[in-house]
Chains A and B, each alone.
Chain A
Amino acid sequence: MASASTKYNSHSLENESIKRTSRDGLNRDLSETVPRLPGETLITDKEVIYICPFNGPIKGRVYITNYRLYLRSLETDSALILDVPLGVISRIEKMGGATSRGENSYGLDITCKVCGDQVECGCRCVLHFCHRFGDLLPDMRNLRFALKQEGHSRRDMFETLTRHAFPLAHSLPLFAFLNEEKFHVDGWTVYNPVEEYRRQGLPNHHWRITFINKCYELCDTYPALLVVPYRASDEDLRRVAIFRSRNRIPVLSWIHPENKTVIMRCSQPLVGMSGKRNKDDEKYLDLIRETNRQISKLTIYDARPSVNAVANKATGGGYESDDAYHNAELSFLDIHNIHVMRESLKKVKDIVYPNVEESHWLSSLESTHWLEHIKLVLTGAIQVADKVSSGKSSVLVHCSDGWDRTAQLTSLAMLMLDSFYRSIEGFEILVQKEWISFGHKFGSRIGHGDKNHADADRSPIFLQFIDCVWQMSKQFPTAFEFNERFLIAILDHLYSCRFGTFLFNCESARERQKVPERTVSLWSMINSNKDKFKNPFYTKEINRVLYPVASMRHLELWVNYYIRWNPRIKQQPNPVEQRYMELLALRDDYIKRLEELQLANSAKLSDPPTSPSQMMPHVQTHF
């Protein structure tokens, strides 16, 4: 091991020098073959046979940097390029041994994340994809490289890849901390909690902003700034915290601008087997109910299946009983836990990889239950949104810890209720607020830089949320400012470790690591390139509540994400979007020509000129 790492170091130094020389204009051909971000350095490169699942073995050269694995085919008739951020790698294995016979049986097997299982990568489509989406590849695949059984080439490559794909296990920094990209907007300023609460009209007579968690003393996984009922003192909050799992007390996520009903989020009460009660918690929930002066009960949505909620009593958790909470009405939303979701997505991979299941596509899809889970999450969010929008009652949402299913439900309900979140910046704020600041454990769920691919903490909860958003955008093609590319970019960088946005589990950890100071925000990249992520059909509407139809009749597998690498699934720019852009160009052209003609005519006739915009008053303002 020790010798291997020294070897690696020498490699690294060697390539540093290559890079330096290339900056001086020397050795240009090598450095220009691999795209590089500022701060990205080439570690090693090697000739390999890439075993393409669609087209068989292809001879190529692989370049490994501290950010990506890049492969280019060396065969003249093949235009294959692979460009994979190391962050998406879940596992690296050696295949074959020194005694293995046959060609291409000795090499490396690289598994990518999302399913944490064997997945491979497409070829031709990958090339197209690279052009279209810039820099990233999807992750439902694995890569196999065959190497020559000479020297220690495989061992070297294995060691290098392992170190840089799993930097945390080798006391190396994540690439986000090395990235020196500069953008003209700063994504870290997109979300300012005080401003966001002010936008919602908070604080007001019933709700106050508290700094009780300024140093993360009340709850280490909550943000510093919280909105709580005006009449609840900080002392009350501390007493409630004792009774809520991981001290995640009920706090406000969103308030309806007119009827003043609210969406609250928290973790499960610590009821336990004995059915403990806590007067402070009960009183606190009553305070929440009273804020909108309605006599109706407070609605509690427990995201879990009731069985799971009951089972949680054994470990000290549980749910709000009718006896203890007279003024609340609890219903379960039957959404399963992170393990079920992980397994479900694994099954999705099985039916799309390496070939898309053809003859029994629908029943295979059904057997993954993925869409069924999507349906349950959406249905839950619709119920929350409906309760609040109809002004029937305020809603309290929790699951076990209140950072997975709870985040899904509150953020989706807010997306349905508040058109602000359907703009590009609004959506960034929503993610930043409900997911990042409220402690969705991105670090554990994704396993950034971590080698433990079988970690039970990993789960595609955030991906599932983005899938739900995509389903909504399919049903309401004009309601969102962003397009599919935006959602895919978010998911790509959820894994890539290029940006600091999704790193670590909670705000306190990010503060300790000085993430905003030391890394670039994903929103910097997106907001400085907004046009690429805009939906041309977007029609801005205020105060319209979106109710998607959460029915299997409408839910679809997100083919453009889950199967985008498959050469048999046609990757094409959205023809409808494309047509719209063409027409916009045509319109502008016509307007220009019309104005020119009118100028010419008016000069001829010496009539007062009538501009086309006067004749069609909407022309200039409509879009």
Chain B
Amino acid sequence: MFSLKPPRPSFRSYLLPPAQTDDNINSQPKIKKLEPVLLPGEIVVNEVNFVRKCIATDTSQYDLWGKLICSNFKISFITDDPMPLQKFHYRNLLLGEHDVPLTCVEQIVTVNDHKRKQKVLGPNQKLKFNPTELIIYCKDFRIVRFRFDESGPESAKKVCLAIAHYSQPTDLQLLFAFEYVGKKYHNSANKINGVSSEGGGRGGIGAGSGTTSQKTPLFETYSDWDREIKRTGASGWRVCSINEGYMISTCLPEYFVVPSSLADQDLKSFSHSFVGRRMPLWCWNHSNGSALVRMALIKDVLQQRRIDQRICNAITKSHPQRNDVYKLDLEKTLPNIQEIQAAFVKLKQLCVNEPFEETEEKWLSSLENTRWLEYVRAFLKHSAEVVYMLESKHLSVVLQEEEGRDLSCLVASLVQVMLDAYFRTITGFQSLIQKEWVMAGYQFLDRCNHLKKSEKESPLFLLFLDATWQLLEQYPAAFEFSETYLTVLYDSTRISLFGTFLFNSPHQRVKQSTEFAISKNIQLGDEKGLKFPSVWDWSLQFTAKDRTLFHNPFYVGKSMPCVQNGSVKSFKRTKKSYSSTLRGMPSSLKNGVIGDQELPPRRNSPILKHKPDPLQHTDSHNSDMEQYFREWFSKPADLHGVILPCLSGAHIKLWKLCYFRWVPEAQIHLGGSITAFHKLSLLVDEVDTLSRMLRQQRSSPLEACYAELDQSRMYFRAQGPHSTSGTPEFLSSSFPFSPVGNLCRRSILGTPLSKFLSGAKIWISTETLANED
């Protein structure tokens, strides 16, 4: 059985460097004896010396020598050798430069050159040969390769087996987060300052005075929901506590919001009829009174109509205008989770495929064939339609789905990102993820497949981040966060230290951690389960300086006045711009004076070749919607109001930073959008500094301002060392990530020429391997 081995005698635990210090990479004390840096609760399971980490496939010239370690948290490669050719390393405080968290491992392949054998290693498997090589395929598209030519064959084998074993645990409680949090609780029992800021985490990620650090609401409490009701002005809705202690449903949060007209007693009686006892959950309210609600299917056929009617009536009653409810069956219109997973697998294969040149010729059609972008587009399109219903038709919308915990999470959150500027701030976005994903019972454990046995793996959360990225790309000034933030957030789902993305439901966290606490003699007191660290506590992963990279310099925040032509600009979208004051000719002409049918198209005329526009249908509902979108796009977007996605094929793009960051051939040295980001950051920083100075000047004389000058929202500082000469050398389209050492590929080096001249295929692809033994 899988169990934690007792720590070896040589085990030494290093506490993390204080998270808040702004130390840079170089000042880290060198570990002389190649000792691993371990977290509390982390133990070394196995290790092997004289290992070579391969940097390029066509030469061993740049390989690094070191020690390979498997702990219960990560695969760690410790070396004294400096990384070749790497100009920048974005450091995660939890991980060394060469480390891979066990939950990030996708597949482990061992190879023996001499015997020409290879094997994909599962848990508890035997290995009949001594591996000369270990290839780790990571879930974040990295491929890391180690060679054991000079290391002890037995130890090499043991490490490989240990990695295979520990990266595929059989039980949730074997994930490192439990060990870590258990250790924290034990330590806190002995110390006065025990568990620190865990749980909530700071929403504000910048140290600068420009941003006020806000705590991300976790929606674990009654008051968080109540505040959200008040924030959105949802007068016909109330917080319901019938699920306290998860008495009604184990996949709903303890508190959620329901129509005021529904009594607890009714809800309790209805609950049995819903799949998973998942009653309708309120998500959000438009200022016009329409509400966004998500709901599971009613499985009780006899009661179906009655309950449905009651719920709809109640939602209508909660609408100030008593407007109707619009129901959207997500499963009928959107791809299912298996299809999304299949698309993702294809996308991943395409992105890391080798040789690079081979996929070039058919790149566009191959990309299309993955269907990934098609799905991104489908979700954006349907969410935009929901926006239309809420915003223009003033209808409350109910999202329906079998269990209401997959597609609903994605659509509900995209709709809110489009409609509510608050969710485009960092704190707002995090609270949205808490509200619509974590608390609403999105099955992170299964969908992320942390235990690597789930048939239910599906990257819905990534799809959400990708769709958000599309909006960020189209409206860069509407979001407080950068694409680095989104990428790092995606990576955080692969670090099994945080509780945020570890469980299938809030109840599972409480249940599992209570069990664990009992087995480890941890006194929980009146706490509901263990308090795992939250991803939103970004200081656990990044220094204050590095966290400033999350800030988008293009963002026009509410606090930042936006001057154009000398006057402060603020266009507020009012209701009337959507209603009957429709300008222009389009539909009136089409259906009115001069009809389409009166136009006999000439032979070979382009009119004959008109392809039907997907948004253009004959029925009035769709043409109204088309009209709404047209109207909206004909005006400048109000960045503090609704934003709608451009959905044409040319506008839905591949999120290159996330998917290409490890691919050396795709890296644009000293280029990419980051260079404009850099340039703008300097200006934003300068404006911030001036504004601070201005404030200081107003209040008191000169001296006081110097203290504040040191703080900045921006990673790139106007007065920093980088501003002296143009674009910093370390910038590339992969920034802040580096392909070096993360994707063992050819042509990582050399002239740009080598990027275009393909050579011999060096090593086998994932597909080929998976079929052999």
A residues with CB within 8 A of B: 51, 53-58, 75, 77-80, 95-96, 101-105, 109, 118-120, 123-124, 128, 142, 353-363, 365-366, 371-372, 375, 379, 382-383, 386, 390, 475-479, 537, 539-541, 544, 546-554, 556-557, 559, 563, 567-570, 572, 575-576, 578-587, 589-591, 593-594, 597-598, 601, 605, 607, 610, 612, 615-616, 618-619, 622
Contacts and interface: CB of A to CB of B under 8 A. Distances in A.
Given A547-B669, A586-B561, A593-B694, A104 B364 contact: no
B570 interface: no
Contact of B670 (A359, A383, A476): A476
Given A361-B648, A362-B368, A570-B633, A354 B691 contact: no
B320 interface: no
A355 B606 contact: no
Interface string B691-734: 10110011001100000000000000011000100110000010
A363 B364 contact: yes
Nearest to B561: A586
Given A390-B751, A616-B689, A55 B586 contact: yes
A567 to B, nearest CB: 7
B670 A619 contact: no
Given A569-B651, A575-B477, 6 more contacts: A77-B585, A365-B364, A478-B678, A575-B475, A587-B686, A619-B690
Given A354-B609, A476-B671, A366 B726 contact: no
A54 B606 CA distance: 12
22 contacts: A57-B589, A77-B584, A103-B599, A109-B602, A142-B606, A354-B606, A390-B751, A476-B670, A476-B675, A478-B676, A478-B678, A549-B665, A551-B363, A551-B665, A552-B361, A552-B363, A569-B651, A570-B633, A575-B477, A579-B477, A593-B694, A619-B686
Interface residues of B, number: 98
Nearest to A120: B606
B650 A356 contact: yes
Contacts of A615: 693
B667 interface: yes
B649 A55 contact: no
A590 to B, nearest CB: 4
B542 to A, nearest CB: 25
Nearest to A544: B670
B648 A586 contact: no
Contacts of A358: 613-614, 648-649
Contacts of A557: 650
Contact of B649 (A124, A361, A372, A544): A361
Contacts of A353: 606
Which residue of A383, A553, A568, A615 has the most chain B CB atoms within 10 A of its CB atom? A553
B137 to A, nearest CB: 20
Given A553-B666, A597-B698, A618-B723, A582 B563 contact: yes
B360 interface: yes
A386 B753 contact: yes
A363 B365 contact: yes
Interface of B: 356, 360-365, 367-369, 373-374, 475-477, 554, 556, 561-566, 583-586, 588-590, 594, 596, 598-600, 602, 604-607, 609-611, 613-614, 630, 633-634, 636-637, 646, 648-651, 653-654, 656, 660, 665-673, 675-676, 678-680, 682-684, 686-687, 689-691, 693-694, 697-698, 701-702, 718-719, 723, 726-727, 733, 751-753, 755-756
Contacts of B698: 597
B673 A537 contact: no
Nearest to B556: A579
Contacts of A142: 606
Contact of A356 (B605, B633, B649, B756): B649
Contacts of A552: 360-361, 363-364
Contacts of B586: 54-55
A618 B719 contact: yes
B672 A590 contact: no
B73 to A, nearest CB: 34
A590 B563 CA distance: 11
Contacts of B684: 583
A24 to B, nearest CB: 37
B648 A475 contact: no
B670 to A, nearest CB: 7
Given A96-B602, A551-B666, A583 B611 contact: no
B648 A77 contact: no
B589 A55 contact: yes
A357 B675 contact: no
A104 B753 contact: no
Contact of A580 (B561, B584, B614, B680): B680
A537 B648 contact: no
A355 B589 contact: no
Contact of B364 (A55, A371, A580, A589): A371
A622 B718 contact: yes
Contacts of B610: 53, 354-355
A475 B671 CA distance: 6
A52 B156 CA distance: 72
B299 to A, nearest CB: 35
A363 B371 CA distance: 12
A314 B573 CA distance: 68
Nearest to A619: B686
A575 B753 contact: no
Contacts of A95: 602, 605
A-B pairs with lowest CB-CB distance, top 6: A361-B649, A552-B363, A366-B364, A590-B690, A362-B368, A363-B365
Contacts of A479: 671, 675
Contacts of B751: 386, 390
A477 B611 contact: no
Contacts of B605: 95, 109, 118
Contact of B693 (A553, A581, A594): A594
Contacts of A103: 594, 598-599
Contacts of B665: 549, 551
A255 B609 CA distance: 51
Given A360-B368, A361-B368, A386-B752, A79 B693 contact: no
Given A105-B602, A594-B697, A372 B361 contact: yes
Count chain A CB atoms within 10 A of each CB in B374, B650, B665, B694 and give the residue with the most: B650
B660 to A, nearest CB: 6
Contacts of A120: 606
A128 B636 CA distance: 11
Contact of B697 (A383, A546, A598, A622): A598
Nearest to A589: B563
A314 to B, nearest CB: 29
B606 A78 contact: no
Contacts of B363: 366, 551-553
Contact of B676 (A58, A537, A616): A537
A478 B693 contact: no
Nearest to A102: B600
B713 to A, nearest CB: 13
Nearest to A563: B650
Contacts of A354: 606, 609-610
Chain A CB within 10 Å, residue with most, of B367, B637, B649, B683: B649
B636 A572 contact: yes
Contact of B373 (A362, A383, A601, A607): A362
A477 B365 contact: no
Contacts of A372: 361
B599 A56 contact: yes
Contacts of B733: 475, 549
Contacts of A578: 477
Contacts of A379: 756
Which of B636, B648, B656, B687 has the most chain A CB atoms inside 10 A of its CB? B648
B686 A616 contact: yes
Nearest to B365: A363
A580 B681 CA distance: 10
Contacts of A124: 584, 634
Contacts of A58: 585, 589
